[in-house]
Amino acid sequence: DGGITQSPKYLFRKEGQNVTLSCEQNLNHDAMYWYRQDPGQGLRLIYYSQIVNDFQKGDIAEGYSVSREKKESFPLTVTSAQKNPTAFYLCASSIKPPDTQYFGPGTRLTVL
Amino acid sequence: GQQVMQIPQYQHVQEGEDFTTYCNSSTTLSNIQWYKQRPGGHPVFLIQLVKSGEVKKQKRLTFQFGEAKKNSSLHITATQTTDVGTYFCTYTGTASKLTFGTGTRLQVTL
């Protein structure tokens, strides 16, 4: 069963805590992406990675960090420096940029 | 810089009516991709347009890429409640990144 998985689906954290969102893909895609979506809004790119051990900042990288140690995994850490972290976080992958992107089911993060 | 506007932001139609959303750019686009996101779901790829003047059809959906490659449209004929969702156009920007438009939210009622 191929695809992209994100866990958990819902996540609650207290203000000031760092939290890491998981994203795994078994599509053998080189490129992976993290987006943030706020209610009624479009998708904004946080970070993307075109190849293992390399990643670039997107449009709203401040307060976030990523790693790409394995081809199939691209975890996103929401740090306490992110001023408004409550949002829907979507991970995607593609064979290579800017090919068609396949999205995971997303993680809804709520910071209390 | 490159700007892409998607209109309308929201449209409410009765089932059976047609629906069109437009994606307009200030500069020439190399390609356009369209995605659909159901309420509470994640975006799903619909189609990619690459050639000037290209028209592609998927059942009741018709996609067009303008002759100047500066605009694109998605037309749905005889909408159904299953068409509810937000439709995004995306384009390749700097550093080969896909940039998503603001989206058009479609509501269909019986």
pLDDT for the residue numbered B2: 62
Instruction: Scan residues 17-76 of B and list those with Cβ closer than 8 Å to A.
Output: 31, 33, 41-45, 48
- Check residue A46 and give its pLDDT: 96
Confidence of residue A1 (pLDDT cuts 50, 70, 90): low
Q: Cβ distance B7 to B26 under 8 Å?
A: no
Which of the four pLDDT bands, split at 50, 70 and 90, describes residue B1? low
Q: Is residue B36 pLDDT above 80, yes or no?
A: yes
State yes or no: pLDDT of B3 exceeds 80. no
- Give contacts of A 21-60 with B, CB under 8 A: 33, 35, 40-45, 48, 50, 56, 58
C-alpha dihedral (A97, B98, A61, A11), degrees to nearest 10 = -90
User: Looking at residues B62-74, what average pLDDT do you find?
Assistant: 96
Contacts 24+ apart (CB under 8 A), A60-68: A60/A36, A64/A34, A66/A34, A68/A32
What does the pLDDT look like over A7-48, one tens digit per residue?
999 999 999 899 999 999 999 999 999 999 998 888 999 999
Instruction: For residue A98, give the chain B residue with the closest CA.
Output: B96
d(CA A85, CA A112): 10
Closest chain B residue to A4, measured at CA:
B42
Q: What is the pLDDT of residue A55?
A: 95
What 8-state DSSP symbol labels residue B47? E
CB contact under 8 A, A43 and B97: no
Which residues sit opposite B36 in a β-bridge?
B44, B87
Position A2 pLDDT exceeds 90: no
Q: Could you tell me which chain A residue has the CA closest to the CA of B41?
A: A105
B77 close to A (CB below 8 A): no
Query: Quick one: tokens of A59?
Result: 């449009």
Contact (CB<8Å) A100/B42: no
Q: How far is CA A104 from CA A10, A90, B43, B75, in A?
A: 13, 6, 9, 26
